[in-house]
A = this chain, B = another copy of it.
Amino acid sequence: MILTVTLNTALDITYKVAALTPHATHRVGEVVERPGGKGINVARVLAALGHESVVTGFAGGPTGAVLREMLAPLAPHDALVEVAGNTRRTVAVADDATGDTTQLNEPGPTVTPGEWTAFLSSYDSLLRDAEAVALCGSLPPGIHVGAYAELVRRARAAEVPVLLDTSGEPLRRGIAARPDLIKPNADELARLTGSREPLRATRDARRRGAHAVVASLGPEGLLAATPDGTWQAEPPEPVKGNPTGAGDSAVAGLLSGMVTGLSWPERLSRAVALSAATVLAPAAGQFDATAYEELLPRVTVVEHTTGMPAK
């Protein structure tokens, strides 16, 4: 199975309003709730691709109970660790006219040292059956900034390939523990390396400790710096739609390709096609299976053959 870790799970709530006006009162037309957090999204896409997937991380309180109830009928197996605090909500307020959304993210429950210890023990035992593990998203209050570095080290000790998808200081510290793969977007990459030049920044991120770096560049697709070479993979044409979850689908594609033993160009094609098929799907965070099948053979992958630093 493939394990995904979401330390700060969320109940994602979407409110449809006519238009958001600060300091006014709004009648919400429609309320949609779904289990959220990057690792949960990744696990759902993996399950849709036919992989056995297991989600862990933390859930607690009344919101955690709702999240787990909504997760129960879905394919990913729930191995979340119970916490005393209340799982966070995220509220996306979507304007009816434009579809533009305003996002309000609760901080999440404070995780106690005892709860973190319980998680580590569960994580170690889940690693025993894992073909790969993905560490996804932000850290909840109470979790030390080096937490992902610790989880990377434990995965490497268990000889389980580990993908890290986070940002800021947790990413910086996590890279130093030498994960197999990181998947920053252009902003995260710029914060990490100080460079907005994608090829330079991606290679620089690799030098900091990640064995491979796959940068997601939005409409320009993915740029991968790996021990086997450097590639850029692009969708055959620009896609229009809701980009929510597109990065998580790319992570799922990379993991899926990794455990299936695909070559880097094949992995990147899978990740780009899934990502584009997610943008095209009407519901946020899901992918359009027909569009995926149709896009997959048409993704272009170009190798950068010069200036590749030895590693």
Cβ-based interface call for A66 (8 A): yes
A106 vs B93: C-alpha distance when bound (angstroms): 12
Cβ-based interface call for A271 (8 A): no
Residues of B within 8 A of A102 (CB): 20-24, 26
Interface string of A95-109 (1 = CB under 8 A from B): 100001111111100
A15 vs B102: C-alpha distance when bound (angstroms): 14
Count A interface residues, CB 8 Å: 27
A25 vs B25: C-alpha distance when bound (angstroms): 20
Residues of B within 8 A of A75 (CB): none
Among the stretches A27-35, A36-44, A144-152, A253-261, the one at the interface with B is A27-35
Question: Of residues A22, A29, A66, A93, which shows the largest number of chain B Cβ atoms within 10 Å of its Cβ?
Answer: A22
Q: Is the CB of A106 within 8 A of B66?
A: no
The copy count of this chain in the complex is 2
Q: Is the CB of B26 within 8 A of A103?
A: yes
Cβ-based interface call for A280 (8 A): no
A30 vs B112: C-alpha distance when bound (angstroms): 19
Q: Which residue of B lies closest to A24 (CB)?
A: B102
Partner of A31, one of B23, B101, B106: B106
Cβ-based interface call for A301 (8 A): no
Residues of B within 8 A of A100 (CB): 22-23
Partner of A105, one of B28, B62, B105: B28
Interchain residue pairs A-B with the least CB separation, the first 8: A25-B103, A23-B100, A62-B66, A20-B22, A28-B106, A26-B104, A22-B102, A31-B106
Q: A20-B23, A20-B102 are in contact. List 13 more A-B contacts (CB 8 A).
A: A15-B104, A17-B104, A21-B102, A22-B102, A23-B102, A26-B102, A26-B104, A28-B106, A29-B107, A31-B107, A62-B65, A62-B66, A93-B104
Residues of A within 8 A of B (CB): 15, 17, 20-29, 31, 62, 65-66, 91, 93, 95, 100-107
Show 15 residue pairs from A and B whose CB-CB distance is below 8 angstroms, ordered by the A residue.
Answer: A20-B22, A20-B23, A22-B100, A23-B95, A24-B103, A25-B103, A25-B105, A26-B102, A26-B104, A29-B107, A31-B106, A31-B107, A62-B62, A62-B65, A62-B66
